[in-house]
Structure 1
């Protein structure tokens, strides 16, 4: 592994620091990541799709340690308390002590659940994120948010628990289905839409290269998004203020995911629709201008992402789910909106009438393409 080919971004949280490594061949570079393990025990949490592809590579790096694996079925629907309990039982069976490490090998579901299990075992042990999806590389693997879903809503239970390291091996993206890859691009766009108009313009200029998965362009996009998020997390680790801005589109998006029973939409697809709904609501409230909304919709569309509420999800149902969002305060909606590209803002006391009107705008799913389209 040529060190010059690896981008290293440090997440600094006071005296606590950890690296995010981005490059090729990193899963097999055990000399790099094994040094982050402090004890003799390790549990690799993965899923039935990823493990056959990459678990053996990790196993080679764990030679000589007491390690085992715990596999989930693939999909958001499996990010449950029941599976956290099974992961904890796997730690117990292995005899894991307080210096054990959980390794999350997979996408955001695996990372969130594995990190939560690590936060719970003996009140907190180490874990390492090894994201294998673009969405996890640019978002969920960085910042220490862990948790599980409930039938009532997404990520309603969890803990802040920072990893020891993040190992983002972009070779894993070669096996990522096109739909999953495009869903990850939504989180890249989100970072630019929140706080970096220059990055947004760069994405507009490099859309074709990103869709083709051009290596240099892809590494640059991942690194820029991770640097931005690392800075926000360093200033507001537990989301008391600025970090909430990273949830642009998420209140809408989580409601969409829940309404679809975590199977109708991928997380990134829901975020894409949610961002556009947030932009339209901002415009409705007089906070932003139509040209910015149009630029966002055009970029999302060029990246192959859905841009409208799927048919069958009623505005009233979505609003009821939005009322359960963690960001709400004192029984009122607290949303992340914007004043144009790169200027996100926390807005409290949002009128539900305006939200309903935004949700009710004519939208449908194009049955021929399976993509959501706006009227």
Structure 2
């Protein structure tokens, strides 16, 4: 995949502001990202799928530093405390000092675990995001959310730790499997669904080009979603209010991922199903109408994304898992729902009976 001039989007956080660079050939643009490394130690965290493809592109940029790599096996099930411990041991073996940098080369799992490891080492060192999946480029690499999964739920342990920079090289999308690419599109849709109706309409018009990975269309979609998220993060870095809207579909989606032991569904697939469930619940509560739900479902299906709960998943189990969601307060369900395209809001005190009814009717 190729395009012309890289785009720069700034996440504005005062002295901790950082650039998100989006374009082709950025992993090999050593002068650009090497300047973001402040010390003489670097640990590259990647996985066994990505490293053989892209680690050689950044090795030359690490010339003169003391560096090493730590590779995870591929998959969400490896985002664990045990692997954080191994990453920290790798930093120790490297002799990493407080001006060291962790480089996350991979998708969301790698970025989350690398960022959390960087937040833990000496109470916080630099890290740089080099996302290689569409989902990571448009969502998890931007905003400083890091963490790991626990058996009882996804991302229940973590920290807010902003990167020094995000380098989104769209060339890496050429090797991304079709299923993972489409899963990334779910996060693009989510950004439009919660707060940007014109962008949603643009996605409807360009769905075929996006599904076909047209470079210019993909580049614009990434830039528009990142610009939207950067604005939200700048206004609400630690999710005290508006940033919670970015979790539209996630309470349902995380429960589905956990129920499948992080192997049955990709994150974006869970979010796609979760968005439809959130829209259906909004409909049931009289907040939105069936036309908005249908419009969302059509777009998701046109991008090749699932919208139904997989067979064999138990609705009461999903509800139990949803009770552990980080947005809940004082034992009450607190969900991100909407009043139609582009009008999401936080809704507290949602009755479990309504949620269960939607889950039972969502095949």
TM-score w.r.t. the length of structure 1 is 0.96
- 1:107 corresponds to which residue? 107
What stretches of structure 1 of length at least 5 have no aligned partner?
A: 364-375
Q: Counterparts of 1:217 and 1:134 in 2: how far apart (Å)?
A: 13
Q: Counterparts of 1:316 and 1:100 in 2: how far apart (Å)?
A: 46
- 1:370 corresponds to which residue? none
- 1:369 corresponds to which residue? none
Deviation at 1:15, TM superposition (A): 2.6
Q: Counterparts of 2:97 and 2:286 in 1: how far apart (Å)?
A: 56
Correspondences of 1:325-364 after superposition (within 5 Å): 325-363=325-363
Q: Counterparts of 2:30 and 2:158 in 1: how far apart (Å)?
A: 29
Q: Counterparts of 1:182 and 1:283 in 2: how far apart (Å)?
A: 26
Q: Counterparts of 2:351 and 2:360 in 1: how far apart (Å)?
A: 15
Deviation at 1:312, TM superposition (A): 1.2
SS in 2 for 1:240: coil
What stretches of structure 2 of length at least 5 have no aligned partner?
A: none
- 1:23 corresponds to which residue? 23
Question: Aligned pairs, how many?
Answer: 362
Q: Deviations over 1:266-313 (max 9, x none)?
A: 000000000000000000000001111000000000000001001111
Correspondences of 1:156-171 after superposition (within 5 Å): 156-171=156-171
Q: Counterparts of 1:153 and 1:47 in 2: how far apart (Å)?
A: 22
Q: Deviations over 1:28-58 (max 9, x none)?
A: 0010000000000000000000000000111
Is the 2:108–2:131 Cα contact (8 Å) retained in structure 1?
yes
- 1:322 corresponds to which residue? 322
Deviation at 1:199, TM superposition (A): 0.1
Q: Counterparts of 1:125 and 1:73 in 2: how far apart (Å)?
A: 24
- 1:120 corresponds to which residue? 120
Q: Counterparts of 2:230 and 2:4 in 1: how far apart (Å)?
A: 21
Q: Kindly tell me: are residues 220 and 3 of structure 1, through their superposed partners in 2, closer, same or farther at Cα, counting changes over 3 Å?
A: closer
SS in 1 for 2:271: helix
Superposed CA RMSD:
1.0
Q: Counterparts of 2:4 and 2:52 in 1: how far apart (Å)?
A: 30
Q: Deviations over 1:192-215 (max 9, x none)?
A: 000000000000000011011111
- 1:91 corresponds to which residue? 91
